[in-house]
């Protein structure tokens, strides 16, 4: 059995011992399911069910070709795309995002995201922090902080799930590190290598028994190796882990075959193959549907990496050739997610953010590409009670820098925390030295007032 | 019994990228999972080879439109592919900087020609099947013995080379470059015969008429230009041939039709003698990287950055769908 994407209809009669062993080492940043459950119990269970879905556009999407077009700029800057009107007077976006244009009254744009450290990595989008000068253990990601502060909605349901698959570029496949909060708050990553071995259909009861035995052996081994004492009480969590592995809401939520074909088609499906150069995320709209299903069953934070947006030009296709493939797929996936959340009455409780690590150069290079541009980028937010139909900030005539109302990554994080009921002014988490740490630079980066 | 848990999803294909056009829904035909950069008909017209950024070459049975083989071995995307005149071999150029030769029956690797310093994006095989011409981002055209070994390295362009073509009589090789020129080379001596200047931007595609007397070029300036191959003089100009770059072209075997593929996702068929447009073939959704006529001239194959390969009836301009086969 492959450890990668697989046909959900495939039966697993040929289960190998190795496959069984893999099931006990689920990809949760190196921790096992029992560890996760133990952490959940320690965290307690938050009362509300506010959630976040973060769509990370790996590679740095071109702000000026998506949400901040510059039709008056010279040809070498304005590019090939034209702006179109949205359903909010005065807001125009790219012609290849027509479905978003029809829903702009429920979405908001930030055209002036600043503070990027310019690294090709999801780190800043996951943590809000610079990867430089990190505290011991590293900065925790948003999902890990929420895991720490709010825990699971119910036992057996991870608070934080990263749908991002393993990629050739590991810095893009980072679904969110737990940092100094510890592995207990790492994301559960069902698409990481080995996780496909969770597929259980076709297993006999005997095989399940074997599996339980193998899990037991594996975790006993881990316990032997663990010198920190964090594995205490493992057996109870072990039982819960076995529950997740056999029948649980989580398992059902991840089984997209349980969803209607028509809804899957509405999302756009897509391909599980890595997009573009082959080193980044797939253009797989099934991710968006899976994210909604996970939030629906109680997952608080879902992150996913989508596509490959690092378009330096040929021979790997110009910025615009790649955009013609990516933008319509993103448009369909994101807008169906919005509609789906709304139709299910979940939109007010679910915040969605779509962004990348930086923007792209105003000037089109000689290969038809745009290069890295950390000075400014864009973000799209909707749901979570945030105001729609807003454009926050602007860039100058050529899209080079924030002209007014620069919005730092941390301001976006402050806003996201707020939608989950977390006040960045009063909330801290303790680092490895026991020192309380604010979630963002306090008194500087407040929630974006235009959106709340 | 245990619940069914599907934590991985199959590599389903794109359902809908342009919601305004239902033709994009579930395209049932020939495709790769990344952009397709080149296609080539076998000399007997029964098979088609396609080269993709997914690093593979696929061989398609044109009777069934099913892939019969996938050639892997290149270490990066495949930018160009061509059959030898006897149909026994395929030649490919890759972003891994190499040229490879393959046997077609069985479909297997035959050799690797190393020497280019950067991406190889253009390939042509001489009419006698003995020589390969390759164009590269290293600004050179190389002529190779098909069995191995460089015959000549043609230097003259000052920028990336995007296209090469052998004249049907085998006497000259044409190359088009980002430097905005076309150079005609003596295929035997490797000497530059003419440098054709007229395009105001990169030259993306070149092709010869069936009688080798006329060279046609297309480029980023959206023009198609006809040149007298002997004198190097421009004889005709089609301005605004496409709304965006003229990315690809081919001349029909009978010399009557010119096909061009554009950055506007359209294919245009032109009367070669007059330069008048005859038909516009719509169906692709992105830049059309290659157009090729079948040996009998009845079918046109096209490939696109939208990952698909399409077949068209030249006479009617209609798309050939799998259900019609």
* The pLDDT of residue A48: 52
Q: Give A56-73 pLDDT, tens digit per residue.
A: 999 999 999 999 999 999
Residue matched to tokens 């797929």? A329
- CB pair distance less than 8 Å for A200 and B34: no
Radius of gyration of chain A (CA): 22
CB of B79 within 8 Å of a chain A CB? The answer is yes
User: How crowded is residue A320: how many other Cβ atoms within 10 Å of its Cβ?
Assistant: 25
Q: What is the pLDDT of residues B238-273, one digit of tens each?
A: 999 999 999 999 999 999 999 999 999 999 999 999
Instruction: Tally C-beta pairs within 8 A across A and B.
Output: 140
Pairing relationship of beta strands A301-305 and A51-56 according to DSSP bridges: parallel
* Phi and psi, residue B67, nearest 5°: -75, 130
Lowest mean pLDDT among A64-68, A212-216, A382-386, B319-323: A212-216
Say whether residue A103 is in contact with chain B using an 8 A CB cutoff: no
Taking the Cβ of residue B208 and every Cβ of chain A, the question of whether any pair is shorter than 8 Å is answered with no
Residue A31's contacts (CB-CB under 8 Å, 6 or more residues apart) are A183, A184, A186
Kind and range of the H or E run holding B309? strand B308-313
d(CA B84, CA B42): 8
Lowest-pLDDT choice from A108-122, A223-237, B202-216, B251-265? A223-237
Buried b (16+ CB within 10 A) or exposed e, B163-188: bbbbbbebbbbbbbbbbbbbbbbebe
Between CA B269 and CA A430 the distance in angstroms is: 69
Of A7, A99, A317, the CB nearest to B305: A317
pLDDT beyond 90 at A99? yes
Q: Which of residues 365-424 of A touch B (CB under 8 A)?
A: 366
**Band of residue A276 on the pLDDT scale cut at 50, 70, 90:** confident
- Specify the pLDDT at position A33: 53
Per-residue three-class SS string for B206-245: EEECCCCCEEEEEECCCCEEEEECCCCCEEEEECCCCCCC
> How confident is residue A319, by pLDDT bands cut at 50, 70 and 90?
very high
Mean pLDDT on B81-110: 97
Mean pLDDT for the stretch of residues B1-13: 34
| Strand partners for B238 | B224
pLDDT at B8 over 80: no
Query: Among B8, B18, B121, whose Cβ lies nearest the Cβ of A4?
Result: B8
Band (pLDDT 50/70/90 cuts) for residue A213 is: low
Task: Decide if B15 and A325 are in contact by the 8 Å CB cutoff.
Answer: no
Count CB-CB contacts under 10 A for residue A216: 15
Q: Which domains does chain B have, with CATH numbers?
A: 35-318 (2.130.10.10)
- CA geometry: angle B266, B272, B274, nearest 5 deg: 105
Of A9, A35, A4, A38, nearest to A22 (Cα)? A4
The winner for highest mean pLDDT among A189-193, A280-284, B201-205 is B201-205
Residue pair B164/B154 in contact by the 8 Å Cβ criterion: no
Per residue in A7-33, pLDDT (tens digit) is: 333 222 233 333 333 333 333 444 445
Q: Does residue A238 have a pLDDT over 90?
A: no
Mean pLDDT of B4-17: 37
- DSSP SS3 for A264: helix
Q: Which of B1, B4, B8, B203 should be substituted to probe chain A, the one whose Cβ sees the most A Cβ atoms within 10 Å?
A: B8
Per-residue CA distances from A168 to A193, A216, B239 (Å): 12, 32, 44
pLDDT band with cut points at 50, 70 and 90 for residue B152? very high
Asked if A323 has any chain B CB less than 8 Å from its own CB, the reply is: no
Nearest CA in chain B to A248: B3
Q: Residue A325: which of B17, B77, B95 has the nearest Cβ?
A: B17
Query: What pLDDT is attached to residue A211?
Result: 52
Q: How confident is the model at residue B197 (pLDDT cuts 50, 70, 90)?
A: very high
Of A276-285, A342-351, A414-423, B186-195, minimum mean pLDDT range? A276-285
Listed range (A190-204, B132-146, B181-195, B306-320) with the worst mean pLDDT = A190-204
* Angle in degrees, 0-180, between the axes of helices A234-246 and A33-43, rounded to the nearest 10: 110
CB contact under 8 A, B17 and A328: yes
Q: Is B15 on the interface with A (CB under 8 A)?
A: yes
Angle at the Cα of B206 from the Cα atoms of B205 and B212, rounded to 5 degrees:
165
Give the separation between CA A422 and CA A416, rounded to whole angstroms. Answer: 9
Going by pLDDT thresholds of 50, 70 and 90, the confidence category of residue A217 is low
| Chain B: residue whose CA lies nearest to A368 | B220
Tokens representing A421 are 């009921």
pLDDT band of B323, cuts 50, 70, 90 = low
Axis crossing angle, helix A319-343 with helix A286-296, rounded to the nearest 10: 30
Are residues B299 and B316 in contact, defined by beta-carbon separation less than 8 angstroms? no
Encode pLDDT of A408-421 as tens digits. 999 999 999 999 99
CB of A362 closer than 8 Å to CB of A77: yes
| Tens-place pLDDT, residues B276-311 | 999 999 999 999 999 999 999 999 999 999 999 999
Residue A380: how many other CB atoms lie within 10 Å: 23
CB neighbourhood size of A77 (10 A): 18
Contacts of B137 in chain A (CB under 8 A): 315
* B155, β-bridge pairs: B140
The rounded mean pLDDT for chain A is 83
Residue A44: pLDDT over 70: no
Any bridge partners for residue A109, and if so which? A380, A391
B26 pLDDT higher than 70? no
How far apart (Å, rounded) are the C-alpha atoms in residues B77 and A314? 11
Q: Quick check: helix, strand or coil at residue A341? A: helix
Cα A20–chain centre separation: 28
Convert the pLDDT of each residue in A224-236 to its tens digit.
544 444 444 344 4
Please name the residues in contact with A162: beta carbons below 8 A apart, sequence gap of 6 or more. A143, A175, A176, A187, A188, A189, A191, A192, A302, A303, A304
Q: What average pLDDT is seen over chain B?
A: 91
SS3 state at B27: coil
Average pLDDT over every residue of A423-445: 92
CA distance A157 to A248: 9
Residue A242: its pLDDT value, please? 57
Q: What is the rounded distance in angstroms from the CA atom of residue B270 to the CA atom of residue A288? A: 44
Q: Which two tokens stand for residue B138?
A: 């290293």
Quote the strand ranges of B6-137, DSSP E: 30-31, 36-41, 47-52, 57-61, 66-71, 78-83, 89-94, 99-104, 107-113, 120-125, 131-136
Using 50, 70 and 90 to split pLDDT, how confident is the model at B173?
A: very high
Quote the pLDDT of residue A168: 84
| Selection from B106, B107, B134, B131 nearest residue B119 by Cα | B134
User: Other C-beta atoms within 10 Å of A371: how many?
Assistant: 16
Asked if the Cβ–Cβ distance from B4 to A255 is below 8 Å, we say: yes
User: Chain B residue with minimal CA distance to A247?
Assistant: B3
Query: Where residue A201 falls among pLDDT bands split at 50, 70, 90?
Result: very low
Report pLDDT for A169.
Answer: 82
Least confident window among A424-433, B65-74, B145-154, B313-322: B313-322
Q: Which of A248, A271, A321 sits opposite B305 (nearest CB)?
A: A321
Q: Please report the ipTM that was assigned to this predicted complex.
A: 0.90
DSSP string, B293-308: E-TTSSEEEEEETTSE
Chain A residues closer than 8 Å to B286 by CB: 321, 324-325
Interface test with B, best of A257, A325, A332 (most B CBs within 10 A): A325
pLDDT score recorded for residue B29: 83
Nearest CA in chain A to B307: A325
Q: How far away is chain A from the Cα of B13, in angstroms, using its nearest Cα?
A: 5
- Give every CB contact of residue A236 below 8 A, 6+ residues apart in sequence: none
Residues of A in contact with B34 (CB under 8 A): 273, 275-276, 278
Q: Is A270 on the interface with B (CB under 8 A)?
A: yes
| In the predicted structure, residue A397 carries a pLDDT above the cut 60 | yes
- Nearest residue to A364 (alpha-carbon basis) of A111, A120, A78, A83: A78
CB atoms within 10 A of CB A414: 25
Going by the DSSP 8-state scheme, the letter that residue A256 receives in this structure is G
DSSP string, A73-131: S-HHHH-S--EEE-SSTT-EEETT-HHHHTTGGGEEEEEEEE-----SSSHHHHHSS-S
d(CA B60, CA B58): 6
């Amino acid at each position: 059995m492959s450890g990668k994407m697989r046909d959900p209809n495939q039966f697993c009669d040929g289960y190998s011992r190795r496959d069984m062993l893999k099931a006990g080492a689920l990809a949760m940043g190196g921790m096992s399911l029992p560890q996760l459950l133990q952490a959940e119990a320690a965290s307690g269970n938050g009362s509300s069910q506010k959630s976040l879905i973060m769509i990370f556009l790996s590679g740095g999407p071109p702000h000026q070709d998506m949400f901040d077009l510059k039709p008056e700029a010279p040809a070498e800057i304005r590019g090939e795309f034209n702006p179109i009107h949205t359903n909010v007077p005065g807001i125009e976006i790219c012609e290849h995002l027509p479905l978003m244009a029809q829903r702009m009254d429920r979405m908001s744009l930030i055209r002036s995201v600043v503070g990027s450290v310019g690294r090709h990595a999801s780190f800043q989008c996951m943590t809000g922090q610079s990867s430089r000068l990190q505290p011991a253990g590293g900065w925790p990601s948003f999902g890990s902080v929420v895991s720490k502060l709010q825990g699971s909605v119910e036992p057996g349901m991870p608070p934080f799930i990263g749908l991002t698959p393993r990629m050739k570029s590991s810095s893009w496949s980072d679904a969110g590190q737990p940092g100094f909060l510890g592995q207990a708050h790492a994301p559960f990553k069902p698409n990481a290598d080995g996780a496909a071995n969770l597929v259980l259909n076709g297993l006999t009861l005997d095989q399940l028994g074997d599996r339980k035995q193998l899990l037991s052996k594996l975790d006993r081994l881990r316990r032997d190796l663990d010198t920190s004492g964090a594995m205490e009480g493992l057996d109870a969590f072990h039982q819960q882990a076995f529950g997740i592995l056999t029948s649980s809401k989580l398992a059902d939520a991840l089984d997209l075959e349980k969803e209607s074909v028509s809804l899957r088609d509405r999302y756009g499906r897509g391909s599980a193959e890595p997009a573009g150069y082959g080193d980044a995320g797939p253009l797989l709209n099934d991710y968006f549907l899976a994210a909604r299903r996970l939030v629906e069953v109680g997952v608080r934070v879902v992150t996913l990496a989508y596509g490959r947006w690092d378009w330096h030009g040929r021979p790997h296709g110009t910025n615009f050739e790649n955009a013609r493939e990516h933008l319509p797929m993103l448009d369909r996936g994101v807008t169906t997610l919005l509609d789906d959340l709304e139709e299910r009455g979940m939109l007010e409780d679910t915040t969605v953010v779509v962004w990348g690590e930086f923007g792209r150069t105003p000037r089109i290079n000689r290969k038809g590409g745009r290069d890295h541009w950390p000075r400014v980028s864009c973000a799209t937010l909707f749901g979570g009670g945030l105001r729609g139909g807003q454009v926050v900030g602007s860039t100058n005539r050529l899209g080079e820098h924030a002209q007014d109302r620069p919005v730092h990554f941390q301001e976006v994080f402050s806003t996201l925390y707020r939608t989950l009921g977390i006040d960045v002014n009063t909330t801290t988490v303790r680092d490895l030295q026991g020192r309380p740490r604010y979630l963002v630079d306090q008194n500087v980066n407040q929630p974006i007032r235009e959106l709340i | 019994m245990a619940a069914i848990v599907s934590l991985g999803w199959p590599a389903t294909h794109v359902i809908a990228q342009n919601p305004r056009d239902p033709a994009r829904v579930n395209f049932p035909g020939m495709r790769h999972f990344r952009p397709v950069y080149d296609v080539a008909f076998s000399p007997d017209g029964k098979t088609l080879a396609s080269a993709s950024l997914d690093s593979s070459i696929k061989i398609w049975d044109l009777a069934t439109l099913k892939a019969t083989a996938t050639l892997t071995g290149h270490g990066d995307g495949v930018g160009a592919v061509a059959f030898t005149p006897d149909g026994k071999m395929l030649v490919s150029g890759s972003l891994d900087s190499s040229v490879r030769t393959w046997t077609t029956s069985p479909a297997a690797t035959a050799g690797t020609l190393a020497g280019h310093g950067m991406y190889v994006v253009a390939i042509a095989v001489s009419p006698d099947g003995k020589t390969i011409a390759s164009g590269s981002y290293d600004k050179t055209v190389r002529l190779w013995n098909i069995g191995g070994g460089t015959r000549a390295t043609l230097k003259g362009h000052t920028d990336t080379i995007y296209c090469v073509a052998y004249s049907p009589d085998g006497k000259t090789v044409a190359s088009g470059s980002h430097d905005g020129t076309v150079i005609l080379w003596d295929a035997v001596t490797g000497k530059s015969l003419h440098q054709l200047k007229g395009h105001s931007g990169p030259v993306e595609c070149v092709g010869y008429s069936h009688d080798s007397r006329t060279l046609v070029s297309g480029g980023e300036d959206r023009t198609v230009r006809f040149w007298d191959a002997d004198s190097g003089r421009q004889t005709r100009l089609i301005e605004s041939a496409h709304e965006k770059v003229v990315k690809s072209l081919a001349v029909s075997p009978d010399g009557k039709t010119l096909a061009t593929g554009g950055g506007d996702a359209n294919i245009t068929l032109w009367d070669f003698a007059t330069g008048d447009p005859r038909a516009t073939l719509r169906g692709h959704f992105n830049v059309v990287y290659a157009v090729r006529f079948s040996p009998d001239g009845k079918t046109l194959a096209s490939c696109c950055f939208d990952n698909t390969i399409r077949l068209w009836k030249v006479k009617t301009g209609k798309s050939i769908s799998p259900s019609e086969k």
